[in-house]
Structure 1
Amino acid sequence: MEIVEDDELDELGADGASSSEEGAASETDRDEEPTAENAGFEEADPDPVTTRSGSRREDGERRRATNSSSKADSGQEIFGLGSVPEGWEVRPLPNVVEVEMGSSPPSSTYNEEEQGLPFYQGNADFGHMTPKVSTWCSDPVKTAEKDDVLISIRAPVGDLNIADEHCCIGRGLAALRPNEVNGLYLFYGLAERSRWLTRLASGSTFKSVSSADLDKVDLPVPPLPEQRKIASVLYAVDQAIQKTEAIIEQAKRVKRGLVGDVMTKGIGRDEFKSVHLGPTAFEIPAPWKCPQLEEITHKITDGAHITPDYVEEGVPFLSTKNIDPFEEHFDFSGYERYVTEKDHRKLNEKCNPEMGDVLICRRATIGPAQLVRTDDPFSIFVGLGMIKPRKSVMGEYLEQFFNWEPIIKMLNVKSPGSTMKTLNLSTLRKQRIPLPPLSEQEEIVGILSSVDEEVSNAKQEKKRLGRLKKGLMQDLLTGEFRTAGKAIDLLDEVVSHG
């Protein structure tokens, strides 16, 4: 049976709650997630709400009454908006923004010398809230202004960022310029509904949306003071997330410097020799050995070439997406798959990972590697390699070695494939490893693991903040909890957006 990689939306009807990484939680998830109430808000006095009708005709009549200025409301689609509190409006997107569809300029105008405007082609250029510039355009065709909301309109559809300066936008993006709504409220309102935006996408192989599709999007719009309060709460959480991300990136930079030092200088060594770990020569301590990987391992193999059937409960099935060297255990957030006991036994006839083994990504993305730290059964995808070390080498040491940036780059160079690189097991077996005595391996692992722990703790905090934000978005952007009448400080950054 073919493995389905994309999330299914079939369970969501026109009246369902939206759910996305940045958006609303499902009813099942809501039981365990923070809400506006337990984040410090008191529930507002119950407000009468405009009830969603059971037919498209009645719905259109309701919405025309809500927003009489729009003559085309009956042709809009709410996409799961449900009801809105009294005092809020349901506004079609064209009523609150100007839409500028992107258009890619000639490639001859691209440059990395900062000539012209920053150029963003699609969501690959997006950061947490603002884009990351790597290319400039000397002759832009379509541009976005500072504070415009940038939306990805080609696969994947619905990702959002905010332009932090005048910039050029390619055909993978559209710029939404707020004119009757706070810009940050618009950003969060669309993020909460981003999963519904994907339902507008057309195209069998390359999903995209048009300006006409964007015209169909509705937005719940509270009064401006309430917009600003909602945006202030969510922006404060985003600021905390960004600070946590900065801690993670700083710790990773420290780690990169440390691993280079200990892998080439050892601990307290002063005599060195030159070795080739690949096409590049490295200096390592003179007493160290430099064997091929197959000389210090019992077995090097990969997952079985079998496509299993996924089930809702069973034995975990790991792919490259579950490997995270900064996590103690495998990362199942956002990519959790299970197979039956029968398929597990079949898959593990060839490869049966155990505690102390090392798994390495060897297809499409070469590296990273992660140590197995569990006795619980699991199966692995063919894109993962398994290394079973001998007693002369610590699995933790091999994990650190194969996450060393120069080695990852080297293995990528050695891996054939124009569209999907694959690290051959024969190449992996012949890879040379700088090998200190076990006591020195332990010291090296101890130094590097302390930084890994710092990164892991920060990542857990980021996940906690993400859950908090998700719950707040669900509650605040649907009006389930009201900020009207609440003492919430308005942030200057929010007010500056309208």
Structure 2
Amino acid sequence: MSDTVPEGWKSHKLNTITNVIDSAHQTPSFSESGYPMVRIGDIKGGKLTLENTALVSKEVFKAFTKKYAPTHNDLLMTRVGSYGRCSIVKAKQAFCLGQNTVVINPISIDPDYLYHFLQTRNINEQIEDTVGGSSQKSLSLSAIMNLKVLTPDKCEQKKIAAILTSADDVIDKTQAQINKLKDLKTGMMQELLTKGIGHTEFKDSPVGIIPKEWEVFTSQELLKKGILEKLQDGNHGSQYPRAQEFLKEGVPYIAASHISELGEINFKVCPHLSQQSADQMRIRPAIGGDVILTHNATIGRTAIIPQEKSEVIASTSTTYYRTDPNKLLNKYLFYYFQSTAFVSQLQSVMGQTTRNQVPITAQRELDIILPTFKEQIAISNVIESITDRIKAISAKHKQLIKTKKALMQDLLTGKVRVNVDS
């Protein structure tokens, strides 16, 4: 953290330009109706939303706002667990704060400027230097009060805040587009993967009503018919690689954490094994075109291994499915694994055990809806078109966030000065 103060700027301790007010140190009782109570999990950055907060009675609300009632343009910060997260209050609705949070009430600083400054690398480094605790780290009230904030004059503060808030608005609108497309995709998948395209006759099946021409088989039945060529989970026990065996290059070793929500495998961050280590594995690696399904801890993530990957080692948390490419399209299976019909089966299996997993023995008994091969292609193409739109807008969203971070670094350090006259 640099101690350099830009020309014309000042450095302040947070408690000299704001009131920093701790939340009540008591456990509340919740109600089915009443006033919103904002807890640590509700403070996620950006504008505070009260949509999904817990509710408390009028009596509890009064007790938790006795010292101070948060108001418009206040900032909220978390102190324990996910410490240092900050949101700004733009809602006019009355609410109270739960434990391990603080209110920052701006006095002689622009609220929006302060909100953005509290997101900077500068503040993050100050926080990391002061957090305490071994098992669960916490940020003390004193440490928050002593955070150093750099400020230009009020006019420049407002101009910087306006630029960064405008960037946030674009990011939020882009995220809203993504959310709408995801909702559209979910509805479209439910329709296509249970009703198909252009069918008029339907029948009952183990997974509900489906087109008359379609069939339903368990994974084990598909294996016996040769429609699935392989269904295999990762190496267990003594075959599990030791930490010192992992390399930066070699044969990729993928776990659930390397698979995105959109079904992309991040080969840049996954560990690798040497070819020699891979060859010694009892369970042979997956290959290009295989469909991956995560079955332990993180359940239901799915991806297709790119065709150019000759070998990929599946971790103990993943299973790979290899299809006969002339009978079961891997892309169809990939989308089917994301359907309500399949996900509900995974949830049913998990509901029968205290462990958050769907072992391979249970996977063999899961039902898979099988349309004609021609319709598998048609369904996959429709879903893929909307998936590609989501990926494109998600990439734009990621770039907007990157651009905003660069803007923050320039504007909130004084590296780039804004023209307050324009």
Q: Same fold (TM over 0.5)?
A: yes
Structure-to-structure mapping, 1:345-356, within 5 angstroms:
345=278, 349-356=282-289
Given the superposition, is the C-alpha separation of residues 81 and 346 from structure 1 closer, same or farther in structure 2, using an over 3 Å criterion? Answer: farther
Instruction: List alignment gaps of at least 5 residues for structure 1.
Output: 1-79, 488-498
Task: Quote the RMSD (CA, aligned, Å).
Answer: 2.5
Secondary structure of 2:12's aligned partner: strand
Shift of 1:418: 7.9
Aligned partner (choices 276, 287, 297) of residue 206 of structure 2: 276
CA distance in 2, matches of 1:461, 1:256: 21
Is 1:323 the counterpart of 2:323? The answer is no
Is 1:147 the counterpart of 2:66? The answer is no
Is 1:96 the counterpart of 2:5? The answer is no
The 8 Å contact of residues 83 and 138 in structure 2, kept in 1 or not, is answered as: yes
Tell me the residue number matched to 1:204.
Answer: 134
Q: Deviations over 1:256-302 (max 9, x none)?
A: 1111111111111111111223xxxx111112110012333222223
- 362-371 or 240-249: bigger deviation: 362-371
CA distance in 2, matches of 1:478, 1:417: 55
Secondary structure of 1:433's aligned partner: strand
Given the superposition, is the C-alpha separation of residues 345 and 150 from structure 1 closer, same or farther in structure 2, using an over 3 Å criterion? Answer: same
Given the superposition, is the C-alpha separation of residues 345 and 311 from structure 1 closer, same or farther in structure 2, using an over 3 Å criterion? Answer: closer
Tell me the residue number matched to 2:225.
Answer: none
Given the superposition, is the C-alpha separation of residues 220 and 207 from structure 1 closer, same or farther in structure 2, using an over 3 Å criterion? Answer: same
With a CA cutoff of 8 Å and minimum separation of 6, indicate the structure with the bigger relative contact order: 1
Is 1:384 the counterpart of 2:318? The answer is yes
Tell me the residue number matched to 1:428.
Answer: 363
The 8 Å contact of residues 416 and 423 in structure 1, kept in 2 or not, is answered as: no
The 8 Å contact of residues 294 and 301 in structure 2, kept in 1 or not, is answered as: yes
CA distance in 2, matches of 1:212, 1:231: 26
Tell me the residue number matched to 1:188.
Answer: 116
Given the superposition, is the C-alpha separation of residues 447 and 347 from structure 1 closer, same or farther in structure 2, using an over 3 Å criterion? Answer: farther
Given the superposition, is the C-alpha separation of residues 183 and 258 from structure 1 closer, same or farther in structure 2, using an over 3 Å criterion? Answer: same
CA distance in 1, matches of 2:105, 2:320: 51
State the AA in 1 paired with 2:47: M
Tell me the residue number matched to 1:175.
Answer: 103
Q: Deviations over 1:383-411 (max 9, x none)?
A: 22222223321111111111124532431
Shift of 1:320: 1.9
The 8 Å contact of residues 45 and 86 in structure 2, kept in 1 or not, is answered as: no
Given the superposition, is the C-alpha separation of residues 123 and 293 from structure 1 closer, same or farther in structure 2, using an over 3 Å criterion? Answer: same
Given the superposition, is the C-alpha separation of residues 406 and 144 from structure 1 closer, same or farther in structure 2, using an over 3 Å criterion? Answer: farther
Tell me the residue number matched to 2:385.
Answer: 450
TM-score under structure 1 length normalisation: 0.74
State the AA in 1 paired with 2:49: P
Instruction: List alignment gaps of at least 5 residues for structure 2.
Output: 223-227
Structure-to-structure mapping, 1:42-57, within 5 angstroms:
none
The 8 Å contact of residues 20 and 145 in structure 2, kept in 1 or not, is answered as: no
Aligned partner (choices 450, 459, 464) of residue 399 of structure 2: 464
Shift of 1:374: 4.2
Is 1:299 the counterpart of 2:299? The answer is no
Secondary structure of 2:417's aligned partner: coil
State the AA in 1 paired with 2:347: N
Given the superposition, is the C-alpha separation of residues 210 and 233 from structure 1 closer, same or farther in structure 2, using an over 3 Å criterion? Answer: same
Given the superposition, is the C-alpha separation of residues 145 and 104 from structure 1 closer, same or farther in structure 2, using an over 3 Å criterion? Answer: farther
Aligned partner (choices 56, 81, 87) of residue 137 of structure 1: 56
Is 1:221 the counterpart of 2:151? The answer is yes
Shift of 1:465: 0.3
Structure-to-structure mapping, 1:39-118, within 5 angstroms:
80-103=1-24, 106-111=27-32, 113=33, 115-116=34-35, 118=36
Given the superposition, is the C-alpha separation of residues 485 and 163 from structure 1 closer, same or farther in structure 2, using an over 3 Å criterion? Answer: closer
The 8 Å contact of residues 309 and 339 in structure 1, kept in 2 or not, is answered as: no
Percent identity at matched positions?
A: 24
CA distance in 1, matches of 2:158, 2:353: 49
CA distance in 2, matches of 1:347, 1:210: 51
Given the superposition, is the C-alpha separation of residues 437 and 304 from structure 1 closer, same or farther in structure 2, using an over 3 Å criterion? Answer: same
Tell me the residue number matched to 1:476.
Answer: 411
Tell me the residue number matched to 1:75.
Answer: none
TM-score under structure 2 length normalisation: 0.86
The 8 Å contact of residues 48 and 87 in structure 2, kept in 1 or not, is answered as: yes
The 8 Å contact of residues 290 and 321 in structure 2, kept in 1 or not, is answered as: yes
State the AA in 2 paired with 1:126: K
The 8 Å contact of residues 303 and 347 in structure 1, kept in 2 or not, is answered as: no
Shift of 1:419: 7.6
The 8 Å contact of residues 244 and 458 in structure 1, kept in 2 or not, is answered as: yes
Q: Deviations over 1:157-198 (max 9, x none)?
A: 222222233322222422211111111111111101353223
State the AA in 2 paired with 1:353: A
